[in-house]
Structure 1
């Protein structure tokens, strides 16, 4: 076989493999985001051994992620697809990541934005536990109590100044009501890059939050994990800082954002 023929055969094999990979990825849809190996085999018509081999390779490269005994499109694909999300609503882009965070921790994952001197829940993935904190889309909450409020104030100096001018009403015995103490707590949040709060807004409840930024490094909102303190003591919250920050970074990247200080 000549060099030209060998090169042509290699290119043909590569295209054949890419075609099979495309068939597997095309099997996933919004109505069927999670597929088993049997589902993929049925959708593609490929032999079981071929599907198993290609799915394993796709997982190793981040094209697919495992979800229990099934598979879904890998989050790594979202990085490459970031330009395609330009012009989309932020909530549509970040909502899948809230579900992933909920599945990782087992607790409710929310996204909060500011509205005047309050914070509002604009997206959420509710826990599957029977015992849960009450939260719903559109819920309006004070900014001076809770981890999301702490984050929203930490990256918005004008808003912090405005909130500090008003009386800080106590909600629980742990609520910060001193303007000096709140300013100190907000400064720590900005230094840490996240906030962990226990019992400030609701007795027996915990939350941890991190910021999400837009392309101008402006604050978009706060991603939050919240739940009862009996399942979320301080040590558990601290263990979940890494997945929280990873989610916040993914959200920032997906909407074409950057962190303050980045070029």
Structure 2
């Protein structure tokens, strides 16, 4: 046990030293020399040189003469997270506009397996509201945003197949056949409206956001209490949701001709 603890502490110490080195690379100073790294980290010269050499061999750093910069390997690892942040950054003003135009909470969703997660939200200013928050996780088979994922992301449908479909209310679809009908409607009209599927007093309207390759990147949706927007009134809000989704798609470089045929 003592040996294991010692190895863990040693590993943590090495990671801390590596982090100290990587923290020296900033926008203001993207290409420090080895001597600058030694001075800024305060590490012994031999330790710093060894770690910098190892980081360079692994592709975490690149060397150009006597200067170093962040390597391709680290850039590749950071890309997925950077893209996610770019999506939120680009779409957030559109969510604010959608909220201001409709008066209802506007959310941006990403999918993780058979769940959807709120990754950005512009909350309604109404006193009567259903709260939405970043990080909130919901199933994709209940509610309008999930139907959009099922309609435009083949992997979402494949992930859901064979899963247990929990019933939250009498309106919750609990069969793949009913979900298939809903996703067909979603594809035909370009959005979906759901009422009371997850909570009896809550409705939602959602539309797809596509990336530059024509693939589904995220879903924009409105959430509202049914006492304010009930069945039959979705056509009043749906055009604004679809327009916001189109704006978001355009911001991500989407061109309709790039969308993959079914």
* Paired position in structure 2 for 1:122: 119
> Which residue, out of 235, 238, 262, partners 2:235?
238
Q: For residue 88 of structure 1, report the CA deviation from its aligned partner.
A: 7.2
Equivalent pair of 2:109/2:219 in contact (CA under 8 Å): yes
Normalised TM-score (structure 2):
0.65
- Superposition pairs of residues 21-60 of structure 1, within 5 angstroms: none
Q: Distance in 2 between matches of 1:105 and 1:182?
A: 27
* Paired position in structure 2 for 1:155: 152
Q: For residue 261 of structure 1, report the CA deviation from its aligned partner.
A: 6.0
Normalised TM-score (structure 1):
0.64
Give 3-state SS (helix, strand or coil) of 2:233's partner: helix
Q: Distance in 1 between matches of 2:210 and 2:113?
A: 19
Task: Tell me which stretches of 4 or more aligned residues in structure 1 moved more than 2 Å.
Answer: 258-263
Residue by residue over 1:131-165, the C-alpha shift from the partner in whole angstroms, topping out at 9 and shown as x without a partner, is 11121100010010000000011111222122021
* Paired position in structure 2 for 1:183: 180
Give the number of equivalent residue pairs: 178
Unpaired stretches in structure 1, ≥5 consecutive residues: 1-85
- Superposition pairs of residues 44-83 of structure 1, within 5 angstroms: none
Aligned alpha-carbon RMSD (Å): 1.8
* Paired position in structure 2 for 1:96: 93
* Paired position in structure 2 for 1:219: 216
Equivalent pair of 1:213/1:259 in contact (CA under 8 Å): no
Q: Distance in 1 between matches of 2:85 and 2:163?
A: 36
Give 3-state SS (helix, strand or coil) of 1:119's partner: strand
> Which residue, out of 192, 207, 214, partners 1:195?
192
Unpaired stretches in structure 2, ≥5 consecutive residues: 1-82
Say which one has the larger Rg.
2
Question: Cα 1:205–1:260, aligned 2, differ >3 Å: closer, same or farther?
Answer: farther
